[in-house]
Amino acid sequence: MSENLSDLFMHPAIKEFGDVLRKMIRISEDYGSLVEIEYTDTPEQFKEFLWKFLRRVHTESKKYKRIRGKEWRIPTEDDLNELVKLIDKYGVKQVRAALIAHALVKSSKEEGDKNDRREKRRKNI
């Protein structure tokens, strides 16, 4: 079972949607998406969450582009299809847990950026 669980958590579609959920939470402060996904128990509820979530992502991405000059990476149709396959294989609760976990952890890039800033400060002292 742990091998299957690791396959789920490391799946590219989980990472892609988890990264977008992280941006929605951290940049747009969209905690509603986090609450909404926590209450999905059936494939139908998850499907409804996804279309609402993706609509909000597109809106926030456009706002971000106006402010910062670049859009967020939006999950692709292939990512969406893979996510649906994962729900069929693992169930809503497991996929939901993997997405939330990815959203709430610090990304490797964020940690690398933080370490780079620390190193620069040390050199300036």
* pLDDT value of position 119: 59
Distance CA(45)–CA(75), nearest Å, equals 19
Best CA proximity match to 107, nearest among 26, 32, 31: 26
- 44 HSE (CA, 13 A, CB side): 0
pLDDT per residue over 95-110, tens digit each? 999 999 999 997 766 5
Q: Domain residue spans in the chain?
A: 2-124
CA 12-89-104 angle, 5° bins:
45
Say whether pTM exceeds 0.85.
no
pLDDT per residue over 48-90, tens digit each? 999 999 999 999 999 888 888 888 888 999 999 999 999 999 9
Quick one: tokens of 29? Answer: 């402060």
CB 3 within 8 A of CB 65: no
